[in-house]
Amino acid sequence: MPNRLAQETSPYLQQHAGNPVDWYAWGDEALQAALAQDKPILLSIGYSACHWCHVMAHESFEDAEVAALMNRHFINIKVDREERPDLDQIYQLAHQMMKPALWRLAAHHVPYPGQEPFFGGTYFPKTPRYGLPGFADLLERVRSSTAPNERRSRSSARP
């Protein structure tokens, strides 16, 4: 069953339309869903010719178990960096400030005023290898560190 990306014009986004991940394109619908469901956003920025984007898609985004975890705990937004270089620039800078990185960007941020990213990365294998955590394990750690009460307390603690 196609997800929301089936209606998009970007070839890169359409490549992910058949994923079991409940992808949103960047926009008000996704941001409002994150607020309404009190979930952090998993933002995946890539492009059609990106090798690691395809590797991660095959290993994780096409995997039903990983997708179920993503869908249960996050609002998943897919962005084509060639169509939205403004978003790519913002999140690449935020990620570099957290940790220097190469390409294929996945960022997590809290859907509250300011919507600051709090974690970013590039490629994560489905299972731990190359000294990297497995993507499903990483999702669980991010989820547990962003429980709704913790997000509210961080949000209300801002000046």
Task: With residue 66 as reference, give the H or E element that holds it.
Answer: helix 64-73
Residue-wise pLDDT tens digits, 131-153 = 888 999 999 988 888 766 544 43
- Residue 115 pLDDT grade (very low, low, confident, very high; cuts 50, 70, 90): low
Q: Would the pLDDT of 27 be above 80?
A: yes
CB atoms within 10 A of CB 71: 17
Cα angle 29-7-47, degrees, rounded to a multiple of 5 = 90
The pLDDT mean for the chain works out to 83
pLDDT of residue 8: 96
Share of the chain above pLDDT 90, in %: 56
Tokens of 88: 């790519």
What is the Cα–Cα distance from 18 to 123, expressed in whole angstroms? 21
Scan for tokens 């570099």, then name that residue. 96
